[in-house]
């Protein structure tokens, strides 16, 4: 029995990339370039299209970050001191 077209095993609103492996993991150290600024002021970098927020970074900064948290759609990176 069809219940409003929600058959087929696909949930409404479910991101198909949710279960795919992420290109970063906690503890990774990466060299990134900050591409923009998020609404809360964090810098935005990307690794294989996956967003990494870096606190205190400004667009154009090239820095080494350590990944401290990985979520479904983004990661958090902390700048590493030289």
The structural domains of the chain, with segments of one domain joined by +, span 1-82
Q: What pLDDT, on the 0 to 100 scale, is given for residue 1?
A: 47
6: pLDDT strictly greater than 60: no
Residues 55, 7: Cα–Cα separation, whole Å = 42
pLDDT of residue 53: 98
Architecture of domain 1-82: Beta Barrel (2.40)
Contact residues for 35 (Cβ-Cβ < 8 A; gap 6+): 44, 45, 46, 59
- Dump pLDDT digits (tens) for 7-64: 555 556 666 666 778 999 999 999 999 999 999 999 999 999 999 999 999 999 999 9
Give residue 16's pLDDT: 67
**Residue 70: count of CB within 10 angstroms of its CB:** 19
């Amino acid at each position: 029995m069809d219940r409003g077209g929600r058959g087929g095993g696909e949930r409404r609103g479910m991101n198909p990339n949710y279960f795919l492996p992420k290109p970063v993991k906690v503890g990774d150290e990466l060299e990134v370039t900050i591409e923009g600024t998020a609404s809360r002021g964090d810098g935005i970098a990307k690794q294989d299209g996956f967003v990494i927020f870096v606190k205190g970074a400004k667009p154009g900064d090239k820095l080494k970050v350590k990944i401290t948290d990985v979520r479904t759609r983004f990661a958090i990176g902390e700048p590493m001191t030289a």
